[in-house]
Each structure stands twice: as C-alpha cells, then as structure tokens.
Amino acid sequence: MTRFLILLLALGTPVFAQHDIQRNAVQMIAEGKYEAAAKLLKKTDAKKPDSGDAETLFVEMLSLLHQDNPKAALKRAKAAVEAGLPFERMLAGPPSLMPKLYELAEFQEWGKEGGKWGNQQIIAGPMLGNVTATSARIWVRLSGEAVVDLRFVENGSEDFLDDKIAPLIKPDQSNNFTGVFEVTCLKPDTKYNYSAKTAWFPPAFEHSFMTPVKANAPAKFTVAFGGGAGFIPEWERMWDTIGAKNPAALLMLGDNVYIDQPAESLTNYYCYMRRQARPEWRKLIAKTAVYSIWDDHDFATNDCNPGPNIDEPKWKRPVWEIFKENWVNPSYGGGDENPGCWYDFQIGDVHFIMLDGRFYRDRDGKTMLGPVQKKWFLETLKKSTGTFKVIASPVPFTEKIKPGSKDPWDGFPEEREEIFSFIDTENIEGVFLIAADRHRTDLRTTERPAGYKLYEFMSSRLTNRHTHPVVKTDGLIWGYSKKCSFGLMKFDTTAEDPQVIFEGINIDGENVGEFVLKRSMLKK
C-alpha cells in the first residue's frame, strides 16, 4: 500500500551549524591562522558539531606540523591514539604534512612498538566500484608502496581468479598510495568472494559481492542513493543502516564530504581521509558498488558558479585530480581534455546517467552542464535502450524547490527546458530523475504539457546535522526531514509492467515514505 508522509518543520525551529569545529579549524590551519584554530578547538558550542577529543588532538597535531614543529606534533599524535584514534590515521595523511612526522626516529620507534610502522598495509578501502556482469574494480589506499595481493574466487569454487586481476592505477607516491585494480572474466549474476592484503596470505575471504545480470537483461535489484554526508561521528552508523538493505549500488550524489576550501589540498585530504577511516564506511563500500558525483561543498564552496573555463579558477583541475584519487568511478567526464565527473553505467536493463553540475556551471552562459557534457548527455540519453533511464543530478530539477535561490535548476531554466523538451520531442520513454542537495528526502513530480509526468526522487541528508524543512510545491507527493535518511530504489524489470519502488529510509531503518512507479507511467 502506498504511504504518503509529509512532515513540515515548524517555523522557529533552531538551525544548527553543519560543519564540525575540527574541519573548520583545519581550514584555518591551511591559511596559517593557528591561533584562531586553537581558540576554535577549545570552544564549547552546542550549535557547532564536535567530532570529539581524539579528533581535536589530531587537528592540533596537524597545526603543529604546519608550523614545522614535528616533535610537539608527535606528543599530540600519541595523545590522539591514547584517546581512541586508530594509529592508521597517522599513516593516512594528509600527505603534505605527515612525512614531517614520519622522519622522526621517535615516531618510527613508536610505530614499531605496535607493529604498525614499516608494515605497509591497506589503511582505507577496499572500495568496490564499476561492477558489470563480467568485471569489477577495487580501490585501496596503502600506508606506503607495497604489492597488493587481491584474491578473488567464485562462491563455492576453489579456483582463484588472480591471473585476471590487473592494476589500472598502481599505488605509489604520485597518487598518495591509492590504486585501482580490475578483475575481469567474471560471470553474470554470480557471487564472488574476495580479500585484499599487502602480503601473501592463506585463503580467508573477508568480502563478497554479486555481479549483475548481463547487460540489457531484465532483473530485480536495489540501489541506494543520497548526498549531504557531513562528518558527524554519532551518525556514521548510517552506513550500517544502508548496508542492511543489501543494495547492489550506492550512488553518492554530492556533498559527499564537506570541504569548502578548494585551493587547499590539506583540507581536501583531511575530509576524505577521516571518512575513509570509519569502520562503518569501510564495511559498506567493500561489498556495495559505489558511484559518485560532486556538488558545491566537495567541489568548491557554497552555491559556487566557477564559470566555463577548464583551468580557471586555478584550483579546478587539482580538485578534480583529488576527487579521482578518492573514488572508483567508471570514468571522469571527458578526461584530461574536458575534466569533470559525468559518466554513465548500467545494471541489467536500467541505465544510470550521472551529471556534473559544478565544473562548467556558468550563470552568464545560462548553462549548468557546459557544451561538451550537454552534447554527451543528450546523445547518451537518445541512444539509451534502458527500460528505465535514471538521470542523476547533484541539485534538483523541480521548480521552486529552494525558494528564491538560483542554485538548483531554477537558476538555469532555459537549459532545464531544453533537456525536458528533448525528452518530449524525441519521445524518450522510461525517464525519471534523482537528485541531492536539499537536506531531506522528497518525492515530487513535474507536469509536461507535451510529454509525460516527470518524477524526481531526491535525498540529501545521509549524515548531516543541518536540516531543510519540506517545501510545499505543486508536485509534492511526500517529504521527510525529521532524521537522517536516504533514498532506496527497488527495481523489478522482470514484471509484465516493469516497476521501481521508491522508499525513503531513515537512519534507524524505518520506511518513512513509499511510492510505486510503473514503466507504463513514463510514456506519452
């Protein structure tokens, strides 16, 4: 039975800051504002998230390293570990500062006492991605240069697939010891077990995943998605909640980490690496294929419009390189010639088209996508044979979703209409939209006078503290903003009338909204 749930926050509800004091302090440290950072870390403010004493000590260590005082930094590092921070955080970086610590004989002795230092290991990942019917990719971050021993085996078999594994990107210092490996010659709709180490080990497979059915074949599967993943330790349990639903894929649609300082690599790496260190996150991404795009807070700054030029501002390409280093997507925009994070992939007969709404965003040129991406997008959409065609945007298409703001597609109405009219005139069936950015989970529709109704399922409060109230629009079906939540799509294209069930799931695993979308509803 379809359930409709609309929760409207009362006017006057307190608005709490999203960004924790530790991240804000790192921003200050990157700019050399050491006293301001120290003062901030000593504040107690109920409206500012606090990631805890151990994280504070780690940030104080970074400040001392930034001031070229590694011996004092070592004391903070030891105190952070004593307060509960995993020693692996010391091995993870950020790469611009941590080598100053590693050079100390005292650090090396400390590490050897715990058996950590000198034993190169996987300190982040493995992260599963780009899983097709015949292949899969695995991302890892190492503590130093080492040989990665990946073992794959078909469930129930004793035959290793080791000779079918090849590195696409070899972990070394140039990429901060991250690497991507691809295993080929997998079978469709088959369970595989795998494990990853930095030394030979006897068979002890820690992780598993299912390959999808062959391309374009009908299937039943589930996909989770969302955005707005601010670092709030008490809500990192969200990754366990998502994992309990056993999705085939997790789509991270932007604001996946909150950096907001594109010109400073220190802040970029700090925000990525602390999420990668979370055990809940590592458990989820080892078994669930991850696909990501960015939005303003993990690309640049709030509501940014950086313009059409590839290398202006100068931080654009470096931010893109860091993004690539920390994810395992099938591809990244148009490569070096046209950087970005757009791409597409399929699961069975469902086609996912992931859009980059930031790199080429140009208010004067009235385009969010830029000419190269838009050409690719429309051609890809027209050629698609997917039973469902899922267009994933970092910001919502729906009108008046953020009243008075030009940051969603309301700021680019001409390009939005161009896309919607293209769907109408080319008679492209089976299209629906998913998006992030608004800190809640909603389901809405847009009426099309010359086409079919477009459904948009949006969710962007995975772990955020800051909440956006549900906004009433003409096409609102239901909305939820009480707790952290994510979107879940349950596809069944084997049915006579293929369908996808939209579910809003909160951090406690409760279903807070549901709707059944039939394929027959997505055509003129």
- Indicate whether 10 belongs to any domain: no
Q: What is the pLDDT of residue 297?
A: 97
- Asked whether residue 54 is assigned to any structural domain, the reply reads yes
**Domains: count for the chain:** 3
CATH of the domain at 488: 3.60.21.70
Question: What pLDDT is stored for residue 164 in this prediction?
Answer: 83
Determine, yes or no, domain membership for 14: no
- Give yes or no: residues 388 and 468 share one domain: yes
Q: How far apart are alpha carbons 190 and 155 in whole angstroms? A: 8
Residue 14 has pLDDT above 90, yes or no: no
Instruction: Examine the domain organization and report whether 172 and 103 are in the same domain.
Output: no
Domain final residue pick, 61, 81, 113: 113
Q: Are residues 169 and 236 in the same domain?
A: no
Q: Do 155 and 238 belong together in one domain?
A: no
Q: Is 213 a member of any domain?
A: no
Q: Which of 33-47, 49-63, 315-329 has the lowest mean pLDDT?
A: 33-47
Q: Which candidate, 498, 184, 470, places its Cα nearest to that of 348?
A: 498
**Predicted pLDDT at 162:** 75
Residue 209 lies in a domain: no
- Domain of 157? 133-199
User: Residue 190: its pLDDT value, please?
Assistant: 97
Q: Residues 425, 483: one domain?
A: yes
Cα 337 from Cα 126, distance rounded (Å):
29
Q: What values do phi and psi take at 53, rounded to 5?
A: -65, -40
Q: Is residue 301 part of a domain?
A: yes
- Shared domain for 195 and 271, answered yes or no, is no
Same domain, 263 and 404: yes
Q: Residue range 375-387: average pLDDT?
A: 98
Q: Tell me whether residue 493 is in a domain.
A: yes
> pLDDT: is 77 or 18 the higher one?
77
Q: What's the confidence (pLDDT) of residue 9?
A: 33
Q: What is the pTM of this model?
A: 0.95
Residues 156 and 407: their CA atoms lie apart, in Å, by: 51
The whole-number average pLDDT for the span 81-89 is 94
Q: Based on the fold, state whether residues 78 and 155 are members of the same structural domain.
A: no
| Claim to verify: residue 192 and residue 233 sit in the same structural domain | no
Q: Is residue 2 part of a domain?
A: no
pLDDT at 475 over 90: yes
Tens digits of per-residue pLDDT, 390-438?
999 999 999 999 999 999 999 999 999 999 999 999 999 999 999 999 9
Stretch 479-494: mean pLDDT? 98
Tens digit of pLDDT for each residue in 136-157?
A: 999 999 999 888 989 899 998 8
For residues 348 and 455, membership in a common domain is answered with yes
Q: Residue 160 has what pLDDT?
A: 82
| Nearest Cα residue to 232 out of 55, 380, 459 | 55
340 and 443 belong to one structural domain: yes
Give the span between the Cα atoms of 445 and 191, in whole angstroms: 37
Shared domain for 182 and 228, answered yes or no, is no
Query: Peptide bond before 212: cis, by omega within 30 degrees of 0?
Result: no
Is the predicted pLDDT of residue 12 greater than 70, yes or no? no
pLDDT of residue 45: 64
